[in-house]
Amino acid sequence: MTRRGLLGIGIGGLGLRSLGAGLLAPGLAASRARAQTSVAMQLSWLHSVQFAGSYIAQARGYWREEGLEVSLQPGGPNAPVEPPVVSGQALVGISAADYTAAAVAQGAPFRILAVAMQKNPFAIASLPANSVRTPADLSGKRIGMALANMPVLKALCALNGIDAAGIEVVPTQYDAAPLLAGQVDCLLCWATDLPVAMAVRGIEAVTMLMADHGYALHSQTYIATDEAIASRRSELVGLLRGEARGWQACRADPDAALALTLESHPDAGLDAAVQALQLERQLPLMVSDLTEAHGFGWFTDETVAANIRTLALLGREVSPDLWDRSLLEEAHG
């Protein structure tokens, strides 16, 4: 299974009451009197710190200031993103460029509006004694992964001139155990989960981020339908604006964001140490020269072109109009 199926695992700082202290500010109190439009955002996975910026936008009233009452619908192995967005049950979904491209190939009318993760989180994790630090190090190695991710491995190899036939693929569950038991030499995973799970157990891992070696694929993307863009544009712009403010606040005070995540979802089985380290490793993937210059979620014609090349290696032919930056431009003024 892919990350959509089985890559999710689910501090200190301020509590929920402290984080929401600004809720009684005059401007926000006045906004409560405005008519609120109820909308939903479909998350790509179960509640966790992966969506901490959204929790802040909700708790601090950033969306209410835009006239929106936003509900956050959790995803999971049995809750794909695309169907509720297509049906209109959710105004926006959080997905990834490859999933969106696959849906569009089947006739779904999606556009990518913003890109949260400027670097794709796919990585190769290994142990220091037998490390994989560059794609060339994969030659002769045994890699544990789901067979469904073979296109990902082949794309990485093609981008770096590596013969994929020289790598032994061992089908595994999404778990660090095969690596720790010596059954494989490395794992294909997200940099923000299996390496984190090992780190909190005191196990050092070497993490080779595939994005550092040409694997350009937008992740944690915001998608909407053509119909929604045409008829609910102001709501989409307001949602993106609130989301951007939420992630800006998360970056400014990660401890408060973590506290809010844990307190807002006490039944989600979230481990505080895991969540803390996950956010620590996730935030750098969300920041780039583009976001520093233009704001959260930014992308350009050049980054789109790089994504199109990677998608072609994954067997997905798309055109640049899969991306629509105009709403993000409005959100950032």
Predicted local distance difference test score (pLDDT) of residue 29? 41
d(CA 18, CA 251): 17
SS3 280: helix
Average pLDDT over residues 218-234: 98
Backbone angle region of 208, left / alpha / beta, with phi > 0 → left and psi within -120 to 50 → alpha: beta
Mean pLDDT rounded to a whole number for the chain: 91
C-alpha to C-alpha distance for 6 and 173, rounded to whole angstroms: 9
Q: Which amino acid is at 225?
A: T
pLDDT, tens digit (0-9, with 9 covering 90-100), for 256-302: 999 999 999 999 999 999 999 999 999 999 999 999 999 999 999 99
169 vs 54: CA distance, rounded Å: 37
Percent of the chain with pLDDT strictly greater than 70: 90
Rounded CA-CA distance 86/88 in Å is 6
Q: Look at residues 127, 272, 98 and name the one whose alpha carbon lies nearest to residue 194.
A: 127
* Model pLDDT, residue 77: 87
| Confidence tier at 14 by pLDDT (50, 70, 90) | very low
Q: Find the largest Cα–Cα distance for the chain.
A: 65
- Report pLDDT for 25: 40
Q: Which residue has the tokens 């969106």?
A: 100
Q: What percentage of residues in the chain have a pLDDT greater than 90? A: 88
pTM score: 0.89
Residue 33 clears pLDDT 90, i.e. is over it: no
For the chain, helix, strand, coil in percent to 5 are: 50, 15, 35
**Residue 34 has what pLDDT?**
60
Per the listing, tokens 């460029």 go with 97
For the segment 145-166, the average pLDDT, to the nearest whole number, is 97
> What pLDDT, on the 0 to 100 scale, is given for residue 2?
37
